[in-house]
């Protein structure tokens, strides 16, 4: 083994087993077989890799096994990368896919520098993100449960004469409605009970989020983003938990690309053709962003809710939030006045909103750090 040799290792990771391939420097890519996922198996693999080269670089695709293997092998001093599966180069004519070939392809692409890494959150950030995703899942389950109940009532001709928006009057009507068949009544009551269960679950998780976010590292960013119109507590928590450390985005355009709101493009021979947005990156964060952008359809103003969220925030955060509201509201009116579709106009507003989010999040962290320094 030469002292300056580098080994490139590709892993095709599954629940069980893991396929391993490697190449030393510019040598041939070889398969190392399959290993288990237990700690003993991983330790044995590490020793084999360390015996073959002084410098080891390892890569595997992000997937359901997430970052446990990554953190385990970083402790061994290996240089690691978790790559984006959708950005792994693939030959158009390659129709054979096996675990062994996938591992060899990853090792080859790592050596060529053709892979794009994904951000790996810290253990605390991942734990908080799991809590935020649990709330988002519960809210989606509640929405689906409400839709199932409405479909059930519609199928049996039971129609509420007012607006079925789950107001007090609507809930009162549901509480007294009954079916002639005992079986249908039982099904109706179970649908209602499911909605109540999901509502209680959402309330428990929201209370846990409000309690946990105070001690979270990115709590200042959550507070700063709430200065924006259309971004309340749960929206800010959802965005920041998915984004993680915003300092890795050196320019707002990088954050726009992460949200997937940049236009696709196919330009050649002096002609520029732009299409719909790429929709790459995190779909849940993009959904929250688009929902927030809809609030900029109306005239710029500081309503009671936004005014309450501004209390306690530094002027350096509040002023850019107002500038964003003025600009984005005008932007929406200009686009629609030109005849642009409302949905497309909202996406354009959302893209510009990302730039303000990037700036305000940074200002929130800086202002918090400066206040801590003054106290010290």
Superfamily of domain 6-112: ATPase, nucleotide binding domain (3.30.420.40)
Among residues 243, 264, 191, 185, the alpha carbon closest in space to that of 364 is found at 243
Helices 233-243 and 123-155, axial angle in degrees (round to 10): 130
Domain spans of the chain?
6-112, 123-213, 219-375
pLDDT at 376: 46
Cα separation of 360 and 226, whole Å? 10
Cα separation of 49 and 55, whole Å? 9
pLDDT in tens, the chain (376 residues): 456 789 999 999 988 889 999 999 988 999 999 998 888 888 888 888 888 888 999 999 988 876 888 888 888 888 888 998 888 888 888 889 999 999 999 999 999 999 988 888 989 999 999 999 999 999 999 999 999 999 999 999 998 988 888 999 999 999 999 999 999 999 999 999 999 999 999 999 999 999 999 999 999 999 999 999 999 999 999 999 999 888 889 999 999 999 999 998 888 877 888 888 999 888 999 999 999 999 999 999 999 999 999 998 999 999 999 999 999 999 999 999 999 999 999 999 999 999 999 999 988 776 554 555 444 4
Distances (CA, A) of 217 to 125, 128, 314: 8, 10, 18
Among residues 251, 207, 210, the alpha carbon closest in space to that of 233 is found at 210
- Enumerate the β-bridge partners of residue 81: 59
| DSSP string across 323-372 | HHHHHHHHHHHHHHHTT--HHHHHHHHHHHHHHHHHHHHHHHHHHHHHHH
pLDDT at 2: 52
């Amino acid at each position: 083994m030469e002292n300056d040799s580098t080994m490139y290792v590709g892993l095709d990771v599954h629940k069980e087993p893991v396929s391993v391939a490697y190449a030393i420097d510019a040598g041939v890519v070889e398969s190392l077989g399959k290993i288990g996922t237990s700690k003993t198996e991983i330790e044995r693999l590490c020793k084999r890799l360390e015996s073959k080269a002084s410098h080891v670089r390892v890569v595997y695709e992000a997937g359901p096994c997430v970052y446990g293997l990554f953190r385990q092998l970083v402790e061994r001093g290996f240089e690691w990368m978790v790559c984006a599966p959708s950005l792994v180069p693939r030959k158009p004519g390659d129709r054979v896919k096996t675990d062994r070939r996938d591992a060899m392809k990853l090792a080859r692409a790592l050596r060529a520098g053709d892979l794009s890494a994904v951000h790996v959150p810290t253990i605390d950030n991942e734990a908080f993100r799991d809590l935020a995703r649990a709330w988002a899942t519960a809210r989606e389950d509640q929405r689906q449960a409400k839709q199932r109940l409405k479909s059930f009532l519609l199928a049996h001709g039971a129609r509420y004469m007012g607006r079925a928006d789950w107001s007090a009057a609507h809930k009162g009507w549901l509480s007294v409605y009954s079916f002639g068949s005992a079986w249908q009544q039982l099904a109706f009551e179970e649908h209602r009970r499911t909605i109540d269960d999901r509502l209680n679950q959402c309330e428990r998780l929201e209370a846990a989020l409000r309690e946990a976010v105070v001690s979270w590292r990115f709590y200042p960013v959550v507070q700063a983003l709430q200065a924006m119109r259309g971004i309340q507590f749960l929206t800010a928590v959802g965005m920041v938990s998915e984004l993680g450390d915003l300092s890795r985005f050196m320019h707002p355009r990088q954050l726009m690309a992460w949200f997937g709101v940049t236009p696709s493009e196919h330009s050649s021979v002096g002609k520029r053709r732009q299409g719909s947005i790429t929709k790459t990156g995190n779909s849940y964060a993009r959904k929250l962003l688009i929902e927030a952008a809809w609030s900029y359809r109306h005239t710029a103003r500081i309503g009671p809710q936004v005014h309450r969220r501004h209390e306690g925030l530094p002027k350096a955060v509040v002023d850019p939030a107002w500038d964003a509201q003025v600009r984005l509201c005008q932007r929406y009116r200009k686009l629609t006045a030109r005849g642009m579709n409302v949905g497309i106009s909202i996406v354009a507003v959302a893209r510009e909103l990302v730039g303000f989010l990037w700036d305000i999040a940074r200002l929130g962290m800086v202002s918090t750090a400066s206040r801590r320094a003054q106290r010290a």
